[in-house]
Structure 1
Amino acid sequence: MNKLTPNFSFTEMCLDRASSKRKSDEWLLEQLANEECQIIPTWRGQFLFNKTTLFVFNSGYKSNVLSEILGRHDKERSCIFLGMDNTSPIFVIDISYMEEDNLSRICNKTIELIDLRASLAFVTSKQASILGYAHWLTHWHRSHHFCGFCGSSTKPKNAGHSLICINNECGKEVFPRTDPVVIMLVEYKPKNGPAQCLLAEHHRIPDKVVSTLAGFVDPAETIEQAVIREVKEEAGVNVSTVKYITSQPWPFPSSLMLGFYATTDESLINIDDEEIRDAKWFTADEIRTFDEWGDEGNNYKLPRKESISRFLINAWVENN
């Protein structure tokens, strides 16, 4: 199987994260004062749109509303530096403390709140990667207001890319976590007939939508071992080879999807019905007849186009 160029969401990060420079408070203040600075507001996990255009605070807002927002006592937690887009500093600011009714007034526009997944229909690939990054960090901030070691409050450090306990006797510093997830397309080649791949209906997605198998990497486990274990646990199939293909940041809320192809000599499926509803072998020609996610009817449907699962299926079909 050939490795194709990834064409799914959240993989086109263009920002220079300026990891060394962002440690300087003075440098950060200079970036906030930069006329090219852009600050993306987010509200309770959603982004602000004017019709289908992403709303961003820019220098035109610095003298009024934005200065009020940045002047709040929690500005250090709510305003996080993402990186430099050429000469434009990009920040995300969490304005979840505001009442929803005030958002249009603050932005001086009619505002619609759209969650990250739905926003993918309106933004460019570059914007999608930035919004995924912003969503990832702000979610982490909202869920880590307190130290996991001593229970004291935390405060941001390193432009919002780490949090430190305010208790001087503790002082633990924590960083945004990334949860590795293996996602794999398993192939079986019968002695007679075309190759087949294993696709499953998962409980967490609509009926008749099929996708690849996936699962979190356990502690003290290699990613290859995770592939073997997850396929065996979910489908009762032993795989013989495991080949890494590509990866995808997945900000729902903080995973890194690691894509694989695996092969097996076993055709018998024995599913764990607590994990999946059903699983079957499909040929490439059968998959070509499937409908899209969201289509009506009882035909099988493919996973969302922005997912690495869809990428793995498309690449396999193209090679078969």
Structure 2
Amino acid sequence: MNFFSHNPLNRFSELRPDETHMQQLWQQQDARILVMHDSLSLIRETETGKLAAVLRQQEAEELAKLAQVQVYLGSEDGVPYFVLGFEGMQEQLHAILGESYSLADLRTSAMELPQPDSALLAYARGMVHWNLRHRFCPNCGSLTYSTHAGHVRQCTNQNCNRHHFPRTDTAIIVVISEGDACLLGRQAVWPKGMYATIAGFLEPGETLEQAVAREAQEETGVELQTVTYHSSQPWPFPSSVMVGFSAVARNRNLKLDSDELEDARWFTRSEIAAGLQDGSLRLPPLISIAYRLIRDWFNADPAYKLEELTGY
């Protein structure tokens, strides 16, 4: 499974409209609460490493009075999980929580956390971000309020009364191969030497496979022969799902779109191995589906094993 895919909770979506039941779950002594501030997740240090900070209900009572967002995430073995969301209140959180906890960017801290913790925080991050960014109705501009345990926002304008639901932006990501080489590109803002797979957002009126072919053509000029689904990954930065594919190109002809990519190159396995060994090439981090797509293509030749070169 890809990073952020190990969420252990049963979401119990059918229970969300029952406000009385949700309040009962919140008041359970064994309820567990996560905390998000802007795009940062509350974590804690232990002797064995970092963990998601999971507060008990009593510890979170004071925080709940200040929270701008409260969402029921689901339950595991009868234990309900919630997230409290804040914005522009870092000093208040620090005063209440003290030095035992810290706020961290999940994008950079995910590899230091157990994978179920990372998945929980990714889910929580997505829900808090959506609630904080949809406090006004996109239809009429009126204020919205939270309902269905944080999974629906309803317009306060009785003449509008629209219901709004969390949005996930669909993006495709693909490792393209031709013969013994794969196509990797880089954006100018990336660290020196970093190359990754081709990616882009799905547009209205197209299938995922069409989006793969279009992005490859637009960014690199490469025409694809076959497109095959690989796997998917929640990507809460801020609210996407990455749908991964492998594809075979008709040829290696490149026509680069310099507005999208600074460079794109065909890399053989031996060139990737040499680049990783001498430090001239960097691949995406382990938490990304891009790394897994490259790894699975690279390791398809039994003479190579990417883990031995990257160390992870």
Q: Is the 8 A contact 1:146 1:153 kept in 2?
A: yes
Secondary structure of 2:13's match? coil
Partner of 2:271: 286
- Alpha-carbon spacing, 1:290–1:302, altered in 2? closer, same or farther (3 Å): farther
Q: Is the 8 A contact 1:36 1:87 kept in 2?
A: no
Partner of 1:188: 178
Q: Give the gaps of 5 or more residues in structure 1.
A: 1-5, 190-194
| More divergent stretch after superposition (139-148 vs 52-61) | 52-61
Identify the match of residue 92 of structure 1 among 80, 83, 106: 83
Identify the match of residue 42 of structure 2 among 48, 55, 60: 48
CA distance, structure 2, for counterparts of residue 30 and residue 47 of structure 1: 26
CA distance, structure 1, for counterparts of residue 170 and residue 268 of structure 2: 29
Partner of 2:239: 254
Secondary structure of 2:146's match? strand
Letter in 2 for 1:10: F
CA distance, structure 1, for counterparts of residue 29 and residue 140 of structure 2: 41
- Alpha-carbon spacing, 1:181–1:204, altered in 2? closer, same or farther (3 Å): farther
CA distance, structure 2, for counterparts of residue 129 and residue 282 of structure 1: 32
1:141-180 paired onto structure 2 within 5 Å: 141-180=131-170
Structure with the higher helix share, 1 or 2: 2
Q: Is the 8 A contact 2:227 2:246 kept in 1?
A: yes
Q: Is the 8 A contact 1:201 1:207 kept in 2?
A: no
Does 2:53 match 1:79? Answer: no
CA distance, structure 1, for counterparts of residue 158 and residue 91 of structure 2: 40
| Cα shift at 1:94 | 1.1
TM-score of the aligned structures, taking structure 2 as reference length: 0.90
Letter in 1 for 2:231: T
| Cα shift at 1:34 | 1.2
Q: Is the 8 A contact 1:202 1:211 kept in 2?
A: no
Q: Is the 8 A contact 2:178 2:252 kept in 1?
A: yes
Partner of 2:306: none
Secondary structure of 2:267's match? strand
CA distance, structure 1, for counterparts of residue 43 and residue 241 of structure 2: 27
Partner of 2:30: 36
CA distance, structure 2, for counterparts of residue 104 and residue 290 of structure 1: 44
Q: Is the 8 A contact 2:35 2:83 kept in 1?
A: yes
Secondary structure of 1:131's match? helix
Letter in 2 for 1:20: E
CA distance, structure 2, for counterparts of residue 39 and residue 230 of structure 1: 40
CA distance, structure 1, for counterparts of residue 38 and residue 158 of structure 2: 31
Deviations 1:117-153 (A, max 9, x none): 1221332111111100111111111111100111000
Partner of 2:292: 311
Deviations 1:144-170 (A, max 9, x none): 110011100000111111111000100
- Alpha-carbon spacing, 1:33–1:144, altered in 2? closer, same or farther (3 Å): same
Deviations 1:30-58 (A, max 9, x none): 11111211111111211223333432220
Secondary structure of 1:301's match? coil
Partner of 2:124: 134
| Cα shift at 1:11 | 1.1
| Cα shift at 1:97 | 4.8
| Cα shift at 1:60 | 4.0
Does 2:20 match 1:26? Answer: yes
Letter in 2 for 1:31: L
Q: Give the gaps of 5 or more residues in structure 2.
A: 302-312
Letter in 1 for 2:121: L
- Give the root-mean-square deviation of aligned CA atoms: 1.7
Letter in 2 for 1:125: Q
TM-score of the aligned structures, taking structure 1 as reference length: 0.88
Secondary structure of 2:241's match? strand
Q: Is the 8 A contact 2:52 2:117 kept in 1?
A: no
